[in-house]
Structure 1
Amino acid sequence: MEEISALLADPAAWAALATLVVMEVVLGIDNLIFISILTNKLPEHQRSRTRRIGIGLAVILRLGLLGTVAWVAQLTQPLFTLFNHEFSWRDLILIAGGLFLIWKATDEIHHNVTEEHAEEVAASGVAGMTMASAIGQILVLDLVFSLDSIITAVGMTNDIPIMVAAVVVAVGLMLLAADPLARFIGDNPTIVMLALGFLLMIGGTLLAEGFGVHVPKGYIYAAMAFSALVEGLNMLARRRRRAR
């Protein structure tokens, strides 16, 4: 209790908490986009519940990893060297996650541009996705994003209570945004393609990070924000043309 009281009275701790919350929310956007696209393929009555389960799994994984910070730190230790690059468990997990995200986004783009898929969705209302399958795929990405998030957080502060508080606040914000974001993506088909493009870019970034090529996150999110702005202007223009 004394340690927590000291943290609450420390301005530096509040600054660290605010920074970590922003970081967790920004990193959580990637996860939330993936969850939204995936759950929109489920029957209507299963979507909200699956989103909550997916986000709940994310918080459980992150809090669980926070409880094993020493083990997480060891994941950055080199395992072997290949092509003059030392690979760690973190690198291998990022590479696997990046490949999975690239494959999933490419597969979704393929399905969205084929006439056969369009007819299938129109006929059935879903795209052959089951709740268990959706949760399994969400769990895979939760693990990758959670690991990346916790390793980044450990590099910013050593205070576990601050990291736990940041995770809880960020996940609470994700829960509030999950359903509105999913509805927005579902109501605007062009947004789906834009979001899949984001996932392709994020998958490529994870792959590059796994091979030791650091890509500043600011560039990635600036590109995403610019693309979203352009698409927003396109949506506004289409709406005005329909209103004439």
Structure 2
Amino acid sequence: MMDSLLTAFTDPAALAALVALVVMEVVLGIDNLVFISILTNKLPEHQRQKARRIGIGLALGMRLVLLSMIAWIVGLTAPVFDLGIIGPPNQYGAPTFETEFSWRDLILIAGGLFLIWKATKEIHHNVDPARGDDMLDKKSVATLTFGSAIVQIILLDMIFSLDSILTAVGMTDNLAVMVIAVLVAVGAMVLAADPLANFIARNPTVVMLALGFLLMIGAVLIADGFGVHVPKGYIYAAMAFSTLVECLNIFARRAQQRKGA
């Protein structure tokens, strides 16, 4: 392990892989953090920070445990059953969708379905007229028990952790590089957790944007499980553009409020 650690900081190729993997892990951690932020904002205010810390700690623990089981993780990509041809073949004679499914595919599909269900439920909850116009009212926000929040965080942590480790395995075979990248990414999540959650809580329209992101991420996970691989760069570019537009909307609303005052 010490040899791998020294290589990570002395070998140019390993150092380049470390930088690239840190960036990728941080980006992947955003998905996890958005879900944790939305979920914990539904707890009573005095429980939110504790739930975020537990959620991020569980994310770190799961990633480190999975890193110690790399051989088993790689084995999850082996096909476990084949459904045969689904739909008409494409121009190359291959099936329209992937017909061989591994445990990884099944986990991603299940996680995507859960994410879509959860995001849809939260969107319905936010647009329900019965809740009133004040989405920041504490009585309407604290609608989740602490235990229920932790259970849901654990379920999604499992999905995001598996995706994170499979990405790491695909980029490098240096265990030290993977561990360092995971630690840096989780450290960034710890620093960003409270500011992101507070920002989402203060801006109701950002809640809907974040839920839209979760819907998109869920759809991408399902597509990935069926063998339709959407480049993550496209996904995060769309998220960044949408976030920029929403920030401009927030600045415009604040400018109008100052002008009206």
Q: TM-score, normalised by structure 2?
A: 0.90
- 1:224 is paired with a residue whose SS is helix
Is 1:243 the counterpart of 2:244? The answer is no
Structure 1 residue 188 and structure 2 residue 203: aligned?
Answer: yes
Q: Aligned pair 1:116/2:130, yes or no?
A: yes
Report the alpha carbon displacement of residue 123 of structure 1 after superposing the two structures with TM.
Answer: 6.8
Q: Tell whether the 8 Å contact from 2:56 to 2:190 is kept in structure 1 after alignment.
A: yes
Contact 1:112 1:118 in 2 (8 A): no
Contact 1:58 1:146 in 2 (8 A): yes
Instruction: Find the aligned partners of 2:226 and 2:4 in 1 and give their Cα distance.
Output: 40
Structure 2 residue matching 1:91: 3-state secondary structure = helix
Q: Tell me the equivalent position of 1:81.
A: 82
Of 195, 218, 224 in structure 2, the residue corresponding to residue 203 of structure 1 is 218
1:166-181 correspondence runs (5 A): 166-181=181-196
**1:127 Cα deviation after fit:** 4.2
Distance 1:110 1:177 in 2: 27
Aligned equivalent of 1:67:
68
Aligned to 1:103: 117
Distance, in Å, in 2 between the alignment partners of 1:126 and 1:2 is: 50
Q: What CA deviation, in whole Å up to 9, does each residue of 1:27-53 have, x standing for no partner?
A: 000000000000000011110110010
Matched, 1:128 2:143: yes
Indicate the residue corresponding to 2:11 in structure 1. 10
Q: Aligned partners of 2:31, 2:22: CA distance in 1, in Å?
A: 15
Change (3 A) 1:69 1:49: same
Conserved 8 A contact 1:43-1:125: no
Count of aligned residue pairs for this structure pair = 244
Shift of 1:125: 4.5
Q: Deviations over 1:77-106 (max 9, x none)?
A: 001112531000000000000000000000
- 1:126-175 Cα shifts (integer Å, max 9, x gaps): 34201111111011111001101111110111111110011001100110
TM-score computed with the length of structure 1 as normaliser: 0.96
CA 1:120–1:229: 2 relative to 1, 3 Å: closer
Specify whether residues 2 and 120 from structure 1 end up closer, same or farther in structure 2 by C-alpha distance, changes over 3 A only: closer
Structure 1 position 217 matched with structure 2 position 218: no
Structure having the higher helix fraction is 1
- Cα distance in structure 2, aligned partners of 1:243 and 1:123: 26
Query: Per the alignment, in what secondary structure is the counterpart of residue 80 of structure 2?
Result: strand
Structure 2 SS opposite 1:155 = helix
Partner Cα distance (1:142, 1:123) in 2? 26
One-letter identity of the residue aligned with 2:243:
A
Give the gaps of 5 or more residues in structure 1.
Answer: none
1:146 to 149, 161, 174: 161
Could you say what the CA RMSD is over the residues aligned between the two structures, in angstroms? Answer: 1.5
Contact between 2:43 and 2:145, CA under 8 Å: does it hold in 1? Answer: yes
Residues 175, 165 of structure 1: alpha-carbon distance in 2 compared, 3 angstrom cutoff: same
Which residue in 1 is equivalent to 2:95? none
CA 1:12–1:104: 2 relative to 1, 3 Å: same
Equivalent AA in structure 2 for residue 62 of structure 1: R
1: CA distance, partners of 2:139 / 2:56: 27
Give the % identical residues: 67
C-alpha distance in 2 between matches for 1:2 and 1:153: 19
